[in-house]
Amino acid sequence: MEIVILPGPDEVARVAAQRVADVVRRRRDAVIGLATGSSPLGLYAELARRVAEGELDLSGVSGFALDEYVGIPPEHPESYASVIRRTVTEPLGLAPGRVHVPDGRAPDLHAAADAYERAIGAAGGIDVQVLGIGANGHIGFNEPTSSFASRTRVTTLAPRTRADNARFFGTPDEVPVHCLTQGLATILEARRLLLVAQGVVKAVAVAAAVEGPLTSMCPASVLQLHPRATVLVDEAAAGRLRLADYYRYMHAHRPAGPAP
Ligand code: F6R
């Protein structure tokens, strides 16, 4: 795992955007896995800036969201369909028909989950999966005890996640209880993983994911199994890493050439 400690959220956004841009330069029709939430907003804003300034063309790119709430309509401002349209598809100039979000209103959610897996496969798999991390160590909405073998499925949001996401809704009770999420095995199949975390609120989860045991109690620890996983953290999110100086050393002395 590559761990990069950066001074602040702006540098996390810039380095993350560079990594995504590198993937798209190698493959114009790259498939990007899209996280929602606050963590990747700086990355998306930085990509949007590069697109607006003509440095980057993302018009050939496809996207697959990590997850979606169950039970709220896609036009709800906090549905991930809306969030992805607002923060990714429009500002980055992606072709709307190539941006996919699980269907949280499908009459048969299990069939919708299976269809989503098939759609990712039909697109050739995900080239780079952008991830945030929950304060409880979740990635996507794979909450603690999610199987490392899990695929896209309907599941239940942890109380902590509902409380954390209440800031996007009027009241905590309005946060849906269920969701569709890519599974941990689905995420592991992406060719690259790029996890971004900022702020002290993520420090315990980041340390558990990077330095803790491989355990479904910290779903993000599954990154330890991936051959090309990069974790970009700011100083605050790195605050509980015991081996921070080691990561700084390793990054400063990384082999020449493109990032892993
Ligand atoms: C969102 C997602 C979640 C978030 C995580 C962190 O699509 O999959 O895993 O990345 O809950 O959320 P923020 O970034 O809002 O702190």
User: Could you tell me if residue 258 is inside a domain?
Assistant: no
> Residue 233 corresponds to which amino acid?
V
The CATH number of the domain holding residue 117 is 3.40.50.1360
- Sequence-separated (6 or more) residues with CB below 8 Å from residue 208: 137, 218, 220, 221
Domain assignment present for 235: yes
Assigned domain for 177 exists: yes
The Cβ-side half-sphere exposure at 220, using a 13 Å CA radius, reads 31
Asked, for residue 35, whether it belongs to a domain, the answer is: yes
CA distances from 102 to 55, 95, 113 (A): 31, 17, 7
- From residue 12, alpha-carbon distances to 16, 27, 183, 198 in Å are 6, 23, 25, 8
Atom of ligand 1 nearest to the CA of 165: 15
User: What is the residue with the minimal CA distance to atom 2 of ligand 1?
Assistant: 140
Active site residues: 67, 136, 138, 143
| Residue 221 forms part of a structural domain | yes
Pocket-testing residue among 133, 206, 232, ligand 1, by greatest number of atoms within 8 A of Cβ: 133
CA 256 to centroid of ligand 1, rounded, Å: 32
3-state SS, residue 178: strand
- Ligand 1 centroid–CA 67 distance in Å is 10
Domain annotation covers residue 257: no
Burial 84-103 (b: 16+ CB within 10 A, else e): bbebbbebbbbeeebbbbbb
Alpha-carbon distance of 92 to 55, in angstroms, equals 12
HSE (CB half, 13 Å, CA atoms) of 122?
Answer: 8
Position in ligand 1 atom list of the atom nearest CA 67: 7
Residue closest by Cα to atom 4 of ligand 1: 132
Q: Indicate which residue's Cα is closest to atom 3 of ligand 1.
A: 140
Report the alpha-carbon distance of residue 230 to residue 250 in Å, rounded: 13
* Residue of the CA atom closest to atom 5 of ligand 1: 134
Range of the domain at 19: 2-252
Residue 260 in domain: no
Q: How many CA atoms lie within 13 A of 210 on its CB side?
A: 30
Question: Which residues line ligand 1 at a C-beta cut-off of 6 Å?
Answer: 35-39, 66-67, 132-134, 138-141
Span from the CA of 197 to the centroid of ligand 1 (angstroms): 10
Domain count for the chain, please give it. Answer: 1
Ligand 1 centre to CA of 209 (Å) is: 15
Q: Report how far residue 18's alpha carbon sits from residue 144's, in angstroms, rounded to the nearest whole number.
A: 31
Q: Please report which helix (H) or strand (E) contains residue 198, including its range.
A: none
In a domain, 210, yes or no: yes
Separation CA 47–CA 40 (nearest Å)? 11
Query: Could you tell me the pTM of the whole model?
Result: 0.98
pLDDT (tens place) for every residue of the chain, 260 residues total? 999 999 999 999 999 999 999 999 999 999 999 999 999 999 999 999 999 999 999 999 999 999 999 999 999 999 999 999 999 999 999 999 999 999 999 999 999 999 999 999 999 999 999 999 999 999 999 999 999 999 999 999 999 999 999 999 988 899 999 999 999 999 999 999 999 999 999 999 999 999 999 999 999 999 999 999 999 999 999 999 999 999 999 999 999 987 77
Q: How far is the CA of 60 from the centre of ligand 1 (A)?
A: 26
pLDDT for residue 231:
98
